[in-house]
Amino acid sequence: MLAALVAACVLPAAIAAGLLLVQDYRLQRERLYRQELLLAQGAVAEIDRELGRIGAVLESLATSRELVNGHLADFHDRASQALAVGLVDNYVLMARDGRQLLNTLQPYGTPLPRAGVGPDLARVFDRGELTVTGLVASSVSKEQMISVAVPVWRDGKVVQALAVGLSPARVAGLLRRHNLPENWIATVVDGHGTIIARSLDNARFVGSPAQPELVEAILGRREGVYDARTHEGFEVITAFSRSMVADWSVAVGAPQAEVTRQLYRSIAIAALGVAAAIGLGMLVALGWARRLTRSVQGLIGPALALGRGELVAAPRTGLKEADAVGEVLEQASKMLAHAQHLAHTDALTGLSNRLLFEALAHRQLIDDQRNGQRRVLLALDLDGFKGVNDHHGHAMGDQVLKIAAQRIVGSLRSADVPARLGGDEFVVLLSDTAPDGAATVAEKLVRALSEPYPGVRQPVSASVGIAVAPAAGATVADLLRRADEALYEAKRAGKRRWAARA
């Protein structure tokens, strides 16, 4: 139950954490794409710059004095010197029919094999513009090469093509200059989808077709992103950018694992966080549950005491709601005690009333029967009290009743039980069981109650009737009746005296 409660509290946070993770994963991917795209654009720009530099040197050689004058031996020397500038491997001068007129890979005059004019190179003769070819096998070195060629003009016609050979290894070197992060791969692909250069294992993959996903992605687009699998077989996220000079694209791929590793780390941290939150929540909830149980249990005792009609003192638990209930129990017990007091007390004199007196006397009589003890009940009635009311008014009558009650209490021992039955009638249950004790107390009471009352001119005294249990009766009602009979006997005998019933 507790676990479900805590889980319900943590669930929204867990869902939010999950959504944040998904968002974070997307952002990571986008950041990776942007980084790759920047690298691809940087590599393309560098390749374009290099091709531009090569083109510029080719243009200046194609219009050089040696070539225009047909001094090919001198031109061979000049071209060989130009090899030092730029990333080129050799210069070749070709006739329209595909004959090689000179090749700096061979000393001038060495017979050269016929190279032929492929469709890429034919563009130089047909359109008279700089052309970058795809991979072609060098007729001299037999190595796979890329050619950059410019037209050689004479009398407004393209008569020859001057080309340089560029090895894939040199292009791969350009890629490696970009300090790719570890496990990242940059690939240069020509317009036919053939790998021209690769930053990793260049020699192995040059000439191979690129992944179909890349070939499809670069069709008609300058740049973009795609997910694929490398030739080595691992998943990569790739971005590519197309060259402005050649029909080439550079693709930069980063392992998918770079993003997923980060995602797994984030998931692990989030899962740990959620588990810690649940654990902590459980501890806190457990603490609260214990406190709650203790507080409620602490109220059981006071509630039972209230049921028994006792005064309640509820312990303070420190829990606001439980303390409030405790306070209510205390107040209820006080109100109950007050109500009981009112129900059992004579409001005017503060003595017990008939109800309480009968209950107390009943209990005493039962105890006495068990112990075989005697018990004495005195019935008291003021003499001439009506005259006080009549002459001095009801308020003075009340005053006399109060003083009479005080005098009764003052004439008794603390174990004796006095009570006012109503009007000017009182009763006393004596604890003293000595044979003469009752008469002595009755005498004392008659005397005390017959003393003058302040401000009262009317004579007031008292008569007392004595009934002794068990001889006079075994029940409270019997004893009261017998004491009353004795009282009226005393009244009849002249008042201000006592009479007894055995």
Ligand X SMILES: Nc1nc2c(ncn2[C@@H]2O[C@H](COP(=O)(O)OP(=O)(O)OP(=O)(O)O)[C@@H](O)[C@H]2O)c(=O)[nH]1
Could you say whether residue 394 binds ligand X (CB under 6 A)? yes
Which stretch, 163-171, 251-259, 334-342, 387-395, contacts ligand X (CB under 6 A)? 387-395
Sign of CA dihedral 342, 344, 347, 352: negative
**Identity of the residue, 338 or 394, whose beta carbon is nearer to ligand X in the bound complex:** 394
Which stretch, 39-47, 91-99, 330-338, 390-398, contacts ligand X (CB under 6 A)? 390-398
Extract the tokens encoding 366.
Answer: 């039962």
Which stretch, 141-149, 175-183, 196-204, 377-385, contacts ligand X (CB under 6 A)? 377-385
Could you say whether residue 358 binds ligand X (CB under 6 A)? no
Longest dimension (CA), the chain: 179
Three-state DSSP class for residue 162:
strand
What's the closest the beta carbon of residue 390 comes to ligand X, in angstroms?
A: 8
What's the closest the beta carbon of residue 481 comes to ligand X, in angstroms?
A: 18
**Identity of the residue, 99 or 447, whose beta carbon is nearer to ligand X in the bound complex:** 447
* 217: exposed, middle or buried (Cβ count in 10 Å: 0-12, 13-18, 19+): buried
Which stretch, 25-33, 92-100, 362-370, 393-401, contacts ligand X (CB under 6 A)? 393-401
- Residues 389, 391: Cα–Cα separation, whole Å: 6
What's the closest the beta carbon of residue 383 comes to ligand X, in angstroms?
A: 4
Which stretch, 146-154, 241-249, 327-335, 396-404, contacts ligand X (CB under 6 A)? 396-404
User: Do 111 and 140 contact (CB within 8 A), yes or no?
Assistant: no
**Identity of the residue, 190 or 381, whose beta carbon is nearer to ligand X in the bound complex:** 381
**Identity of the residue, 425 or 478, whose beta carbon is nearer to ligand X in the bound complex:** 425
- Give the full edge-to-edge strand order of the sheet including 223-229: 195-198, 185-189, 249-255, 235-242, 223-229
| Residue recorded with tokens 């055995």 | 502
Nearest Cα neighbor of 136 from 121, 146, 123 is: 146
Which stretch, 35-43, 49-57, 190-198, 378-386, contacts ligand X (CB under 6 A)? 378-386
Could you say whether residue 385 binds ligand X (CB under 6 A)? yes
User: Do 465 and 378 contact (CB within 8 A), yes or no?
Assistant: yes
- Residues 242, 251: Cα–Cα separation, whole Å: 9
**Identity of the residue, 397 or 473, whose beta carbon is nearer to ligand X in the bound complex:** 397
Strands (E) across 19-174 are located at 90-95, 100-103, 131-137, 144-154, 157-166
Could you say whether residue 397 binds ligand X (CB under 6 A)? yes
Could you say whether residue 424 binds ligand X (CB under 6 A)? yes
Chain positions 34 to 53 lying near ligand X, rule: CB under 6 A, are none
**Identity of the residue, 197 or 401, whose beta carbon is nearer to ligand X in the bound complex:** 401
Among 57, 236, 329, 382, binds ligand X (CB under 6 A): 382
Could you say whether residue 273 binds ligand X (CB under 6 A)? no
Could you say whether residue 401 binds ligand X (CB under 6 A)? yes
Could you say whether residue 109 binds ligand X (CB under 6 A)? no
Could you say whether residue 498 binds ligand X (CB under 6 A)? no
Which stretch, 46-54, 242-250, 322-330, 375-383, contacts ligand X (CB under 6 A)? 375-383
Three-state DSSP class for residue 241:
strand
User: Do 211 and 228 contact (CB within 8 A), yes or no?
Assistant: yes
Identity at 105, one-letter amino acid code: L
- Residues 140, 120: Cα–Cα separation, whole Å: 19
> What string of DSSP letters covers 275-304?
HHHHHHHHHHHHHHHHHHHHHHHHHHHHHH
Could you say whether residue 301 binds ligand X (CB under 6 A)? no
Could you say whether residue 116 binds ligand X (CB under 6 A)? no
Among 398, 432, 443, 478, binds ligand X (CB under 6 A): 398
**Identity of the residue, 330 or 489, whose beta carbon is nearer to ligand X in the bound complex:** 489
Among 322, 383, 429, 449, binds ligand X (CB under 6 A): 383
Angle at 429 between CA 426 and CA 435, to 5 degrees: 120
Instruction: Count Cβ atoms below 10 Å from residue 270 Cβ, excluding itself.
Output: 18
Applying CB under 6 A, the residues found at the interface with ligand X are 348, 381-387, 389, 394, 397-398, 401, 423-424
